[in-house]
């Protein structure tokens, strides 16, 4: 399901839940609400643990084909409904007004250059701009670029599947605690010169960088072997045994101090080691753009 479809679907959920909350105060304006909600509730597997497998909890009594068909149909109905809502006046503070505003904001966001907006919001490091924002005739100060620092800053602004993936999970050895888990990201998509032009590079620079970027993406995907094996390491062990320095990354993400003895779980430490070696072998400007 793409980003636009997910947005429409969750807007629909928000609208339905709000309408039911208001049902005792005013008439329903969508006469299929009860049928939709009843169908959703009948699909729930209440014996499943929502904290461990939320998808099974909400959809455990149906097969995937039925699931896809249902949500595809709901997506189309919601879209028609939102288009109808946005052209009407609504009571201030009502569910209809709030959902209509959110839908209009999402549509506006689709038309904007999201890459440019995002890159204006977050910089690779303090007082360090992105390479494409370097003034003409100036060299980008790549000696100040630290890829793990940049990843941490991006993670704080919602981007969490580039080069490595970090998450908090319930510790299976002590369920009263959470543990930091580092694992392989999703495969990297292709990068073309047109993507670099959208970011603000001139054509000659975009053509120069694009081949290096495609090579980096291919290499990353080839060594990104899927594994579920988790091993525990302290930050000090990762540094001394594998040459991977994650301490500053975690401190930026969580805005707190981490001692060298802090323990985290790594899914596939070989990938992390190879990633560190690979990034070190590439030009820092290429890595920043990637």
Q: How many Å apart are CA 74 and CA 58, to the nearest integer?
A: 16
The candidate with the shortest Cα–Cα distance to 79, out of 11, 29, 31, is 11
pLDDT of residue 50: 65
pLDDT of residue 246: 95
Q: Which CATH architecture has domain 129-289?
A: Orthogonal Bundle (1.10)
Q: How many Å apart are CA 126 and CA 134, to the nearest integer?
A: 15
The candidate with the shortest Cα–Cα distance to 163, out of 22, 35, 280, 9, is 280
pLDDT of residue 202: 84
Residue with tokens 């807007």: 11
> Per-residue pLDDT tens for 132-175?
888 766 889 999 999 999 999 998 887 777 888 898 888 888 88
Q: How many Å apart are CA 162 and CA 187, to the nearest integer?
A: 9
> Per-residue pLDDT tens for 13-34?
555 555 445 444 444 444 466 6
Mean pLDDT for back-to-back runs of 10 residues, the chain (290 residues):
56 55 46 66 76 70 56 63 75 76 65 62 89 81 94 86 86 86 83 84 87 88 74 95 94 94 91 91 92
Instruction: Write down the domain spans for the chain.
Output: 3-111, 129-289
pLDDT of residue 26: 45
Q: How far is CA 153 from CA 30, 249, 251, 267, 287, in A?
A: 43, 8, 10, 22, 15
Per-chain mean pLDDT for the chain: 78
pLDDT of residue 25: 46
pLDDT of residue 109: 53
């Amino acid at each position: 399901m793409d980003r636009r479809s997910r947005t429409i679907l969750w807007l629909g959920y928000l609208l339905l839940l709000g309408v039911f909350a208001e049902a005792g105060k005013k008439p329903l304006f969508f006469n299929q609400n009860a049928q939709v909600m009843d169908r959703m509730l009948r699909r729930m597997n209440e014996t499943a643990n929502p904290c461990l497998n939320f998808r099974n909890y909400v959809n455990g009594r149906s097969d995937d084909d039925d699931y896809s068909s249902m949500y595809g149909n709901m997506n189309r109905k919601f879209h028609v409904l939102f288009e109808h809502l946005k052209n009407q006046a609504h009571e201030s503070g009502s569910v209809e007004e709030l959902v209509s505003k959110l839908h209009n904001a999402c549509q506006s966001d689709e038309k904007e250059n999201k890459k440019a907006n995002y890159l204006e919001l977050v910089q690779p490091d303090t007082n360090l701009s992105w390479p494409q924002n370097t003034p003409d005739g100036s060299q980008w100060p790549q000696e100040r670029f630290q890829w793990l620092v940049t990843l941490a800053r991006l993670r704080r602004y919602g981007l969490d599947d580039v080069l490595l993936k970090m998450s908090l999970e319930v510790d299976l050895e002590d369920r009263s605690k959470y543990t930091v888990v580092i694992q392989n990201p999703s495969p990297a998509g292709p990068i073309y010169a047109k993507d670099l032009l959208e970011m603000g590079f001139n054509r000659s620079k975009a053509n120069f960088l694009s081949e290096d970027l495609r090579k980096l993406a291919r290499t990353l995907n080839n060594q990104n072997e899927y594994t579920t094996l988790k091993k525990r390491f302290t930050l000090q062990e990762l540094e001394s045994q594998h040459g991977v320095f994650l301490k500053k990354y975690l401190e930026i993400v969580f805005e707190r101090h981490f001692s060298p003895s802090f323990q985290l779980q790594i899914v596939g430490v070989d990938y992390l080691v190879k990633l560190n070696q690979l990034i070190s072998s590439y030009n820092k400007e290429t890595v920043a753009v990637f």
